[in-house]
């Protein structure tokens, strides 16, 4: 038995589309790019007439501005609430521009300069001394040498001294290697190199970027999906794809995704669709979390009973997704389900109310 890769990179998932766009692309391309700016936008946003599937639900102008930024010498910073598809957008753009979205740095408290620039094979370093053979290039060095886009996820999770390693790379477009000499001591960025960084607004103040580093980026804010029907359709299609990949052969009831998106939007904004105030949760009620919850609902139903999951299954998984380990959020969720469930007469809402009451007790 051979196992499949759970999630291939965008350039593999959409290889046929990228190849077709590149073949039919006759316009001017920014230096080092695989596609023109127009074709890169088409790849991300989709085009029914060209048979290109839409991959990002959002503002086309945001995508255009992001691509224009990458064609300059300034980096692109995507900011927004967690779960607003910043990482997906950066992956798609990198695949369109460079044909490779895998040059990625995952920011965190333990991220070091070695993981950004380069490190060493210490066995070779001891045996032969510093050389290009004993060097282990990190994503930033590879991106500069190969003329590719580098993705830096959650840059504000990194300590400030680690963030500041980007300063000279973005302004001078050169990486110095003091351990080497001659031509090997400097790595100059080739055409096509640039950086897409992401940062969550919930992390603001954790490791605030310096003013010097901010000046080297153009900032674009990625907002949650504004339209209800669009979000429902996205949750439905994305969760259906995940369920098929998980071996679930049944189709989920549309009422599940509609209830799920309604609940998430209410608790995310603090208001119901008719304007009634509700208590917001402290956790992020993102579209990505909604997709994950719909997926879990289908998994539970299929592998326990052979169906695609019910509202009761959704209620079973809801607390872990929405409230995590926050007892105050758990109380807010309980009050919300009781209040809204008593006002809405649909079968799905009544089932949610009964199931949630059984789970949380008197």
Phi, psi for 247 (deg, rounded to 5)? 90, 15
DSSP of 43-108: HHH-BTTTTBPP---S-HHHHHHHHHHHTTTSEEEEEESTTSSHHHHHHHHHHHHHS----EEE--
Q: Is residue 4 part of a domain?
A: no
Domain harbouring 115, CATH code: 3.40.50.300
In this predicted structure, what is the pLDDT of residue 329? 86
Q: Is residue 318 part of a domain?
A: yes
Q: Is residue 3 part of a domain?
A: no
Hey, which residues does 78 pair with through a beta bridge?
198, 220
Q: Is residue 1 part of a domain?
A: no
Same domain, 126 and 58: yes
Same domain, 237 and 208: no
Q: Is residue 313 part of a domain?
A: yes
In this predicted structure, what is the pLDDT of residue 1? 54
Same domain, 35 and 180: yes
In this predicted structure, what is the pLDDT of residue 358? 84
Low-confidence ranges of the chain (pLDDT < 70): 1-2, 204-206, 361-362
Same domain, 284 and 206: no
Same domain, 122 and 202: yes
Domain end point (choices 197, 221, 245) = 221
Hey, which residues does 58 pair with through a beta bridge?
none
Q: Identify the burial level of 361 via C-beta atoms within 10 angstroms of its C-beta, where 0-12 means exposed, 13-18 middle and 19 or more buried.
A: exposed
pLDDT tens digits, 39-73: 999 999 999 999 999 999 989 999 999 999 999 99
Same domain, 108 and 254: no
Tokens of 325: 């380990």
Same domain, 63 and 207: yes
Residues ≥6 apart with Cβ < 8 Å to 177: 118, 135, 184, 185, 186, 187
Q: Is residue 294 part of a domain?
A: yes
How far from chain centre, in Å, is Cα 42? 19
The tally of domains found in the chain comes to 2
Same domain, 209 and 242: no
Question: How far apart are alpha carbons 113 and 176 in whole angstroms?
Answer: 13
Same domain, 178 and 275: no
Phi, psi for 219 (deg, rounded to 5)? -95, 135
Same domain, 210 and 261: no
In this predicted structure, what is the pLDDT of residue 204? 66
Give the pTM: 0.90
Q: Is residue 138 part of a domain?
A: yes
Which domain covers residue 287, as residue numbers? 228-360
Q: 343-359: string of b/e by CB count within 10 Å (b at 16+)?
A: eeeeebbebbbebbeee
Domain end point (choices 189, 221, 253) = 221
Q: Identify the burial level of 254 via C-beta atoms within 10 angstroms of its C-beta, where 0-12 means exposed, 13-18 middle and 19 or more buried.
A: exposed
Same domain, 190 and 318: no
Other Cβ atoms within 10 Å of 303 Cβ, number: 12
Domain end point (choices 181, 202, 221) = 221
pLDDT tens digits, 149-206: 999 999 999 999 999 999 999 999 999 999 998 889 999 999 999 999 999 887 765 6
Same domain, 193 and 50: yes
């Amino acid at each position: 038995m051979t196992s499949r890769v759970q999630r291939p990179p965008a350039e593999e998932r959409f290889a046929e589309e990228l190849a077709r766009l590149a073949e039919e692309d006759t316009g001017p391309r920014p230096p080092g790019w695989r596609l023109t700016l127009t074709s890169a936008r088409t790849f991300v946003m989709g085009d029914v007439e060209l048979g290109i599937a839409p991959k990002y639900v959002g503002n086309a102008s945001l995508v255009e501005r992001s691509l224009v930024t990458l064609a300059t010498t300034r980096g692109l910073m995507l900011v927004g609430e967690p779960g607003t598809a910043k990482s997906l957008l950066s992956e798609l753009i990198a695949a369109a521009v460079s044909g490779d979205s895998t040059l990625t740095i995952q920011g965190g408290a333990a991220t070091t300069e070695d993981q950004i620039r380069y490190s060493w094979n210490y066995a070779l370093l001891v045996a032969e001394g510093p050389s290009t053979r004993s060097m282990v290039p990190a994503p930033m060095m590879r991106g500069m040498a190969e003329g590719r886009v580098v993705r830096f996820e959650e840059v504000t999770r990194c300590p400030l001294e680690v963030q500041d390693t980007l300063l000279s790379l973005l302004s001078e477009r050169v990486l110095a290697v003091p351990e080497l000499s001659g031509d090997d001591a400097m790595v100059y960025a080739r055409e096509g190199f640039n950086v897409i960084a992401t940062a969550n607004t919930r992390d603001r103040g954790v490791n605030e970027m310096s003013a010097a580093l901010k000046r080297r980026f153009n900032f674009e804010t990625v907002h949650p999906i504004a339209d209800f029907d669009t979000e429902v359709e996205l949750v439905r299609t994305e969760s259906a794809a995940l369920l098929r990949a998980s071996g679930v052969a049944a189709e989920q009831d549309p009422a599940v995704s509609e209830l799920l998106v309604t609940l998430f939007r209410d608790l995310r904004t603090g208001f119901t669709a008719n304007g009634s105030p509700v208590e917001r949760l402290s956790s992020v009620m993102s579209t990505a979390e909604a997709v994950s919850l719909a997926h879990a609902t289908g998994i539970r139903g299929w592998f326990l009973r052979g169906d695609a999951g019910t509202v009761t299954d959704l209620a079973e998984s809801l607390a872990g997704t929405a409230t995590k380990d926050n007892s105050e959020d758990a109380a807010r969720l309980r009050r919300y389900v009781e209040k809204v469930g008593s006002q809405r007469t649909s079968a799905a809402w009544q089932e949610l109310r009964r199931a949630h009451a059984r789970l949380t007790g008197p």
